[in-house]
Amino acid sequence: MSQTPSFAVIPGADVSRVLDSRHRETVGIIESAYRVHGRGDTVNPPSYFLRFPDRPSSRIIALPASVGGDIRADGIKWISSFPENVAAGLPRASAVLILNDPDTGYPLACLESSIISAARTAASAALAADKLTAGRARPRRVGFFGTGLIARFIHSYLAGTGWEFDETGVFDLEREHAEGFAGYLRGSGTETGKTVVHDSAESLVRESDLVVFATVAGTPHVTDPGWFGHNPLVLHISLRDLSPDVVLAATNVVDDIEHCLKADTSLHLAEQRLGHRDFVAGTLYDVLTGELTPPPDRPVIFSPFGLGVLDLALGKHIHDTIRDAGELAVVEGFFHEMRRYG
């Protein structure tokens, strides 16, 4: 009889311990996952949304995926977004990641995944910022629209991969949140210039060469292409901030065309208006392989839908790091009925 599969639980503290201060390594893992995905050696089905008629602002999303290459991992991320949590002092998002053994299909670990999700999102943003500014003037002014966990992680990953700014702009619909984020930046030890809290979204965008949208917006609220007349790089992380007019006035790069142009994202709305997808210049994989070099005379918008293969790649790295150190917290007897005939 083969050995009974084991099952481990990896809490957030252990996830953080593996990832802390390893920004460049994490970005490298995410880049490798993008390359495997671009070569077609992944399975990344559409995300599945569980919505609630009595709680319309909330949802839980399932992201099943499989990634090949040297990573070789199967699994699913189960991530909730409950915006009402913020008023109660809790983070909006919470998540777990289940890794499955690719040989037997047995679940082999459950990892706390809000940190993994934030880290892979931030690493993707830092990777895109680096590759999309190649051949362009390096942005010296960064602006954050939205000041939650994702904004904090993106700032951390930019700083951790060598970015320095003369000015960091901050704007949030809730002034208190913007002030809080500015206070965090000033005390983070990574502030390389002055931090400015903006009174309007327009001033933030117009005065930033690199703009990060990390909001919970469900519909476009930035509608004037003129705000982007200075041709900034836009990391459109939250996907629904920009109107089709803004999208169509820019060079658009996505992580995956099929995934990004659905669910009424800004790019999906642009597609619905035009009836085609020709306004999408290409993918981040195209940029990584040299197939796409965005022109310097237009705004560049990077819109990543967020692929489950990225979570798997990072989760597998964390699992293997802890396993190799002999520190996995295995749940003894998790799989109980293992005899086919009793």
Distance set, CA 172 to CA 4, 38, 178, 206 (Å): 51, 35, 5, 15
List the domains of the chain with CATH numbers: 8-116+308-324 (3.30.1780.10), 123-303 (3.40.50.720)
Show the tokens assigned to 298. 């237009």
Using alpha carbons, select from 243, 258, 284, 306 the residue that is nearest to residue 116: 306
DSSP character at residue 252: E
DSSP character at residue 277: -
Tell me what pLDDT residue 330 has. Answer: 95
Please measure the distance between the N-terminal and C-terminal CA atoms of the chain and give it in whole angstroms: 13
Tell me what pLDDT residue 135 has. Answer: 78
Residue 276 CA to residue 300 CA, distance in Å, equals 19
Residue 317 CA to residue 332 CA, distance in Å, equals 23
Q: What is the chain's pLDDT, residue by residue, as a tens digit (342 residues)?
A: 357 789 999 999 999 999 999 999 999 999 999 999 999 999 999 999 999 999 999 999 999 999 999 999 999 999 999 989 988 988 888 999 999 999 999 999 999 999 999 999 999 999 999 999 987 889 999 999 999 899 999 999 999 999 999 999 999 999 999 999 999 998 887 777 899 999 999 999 999 999 999 998 989 999 999 999 999 999 999 999 999 999 999 999 999 999 999 989 999 999 999 999 999 999 999 999 999 999 999 999 999 998 999 999 999 999 999 999 999 999 998 988 777 676
Compute the radius of gyration of the chain from its Cα atoms.
20
Tell me what pLDDT residue 59 has. Answer: 93
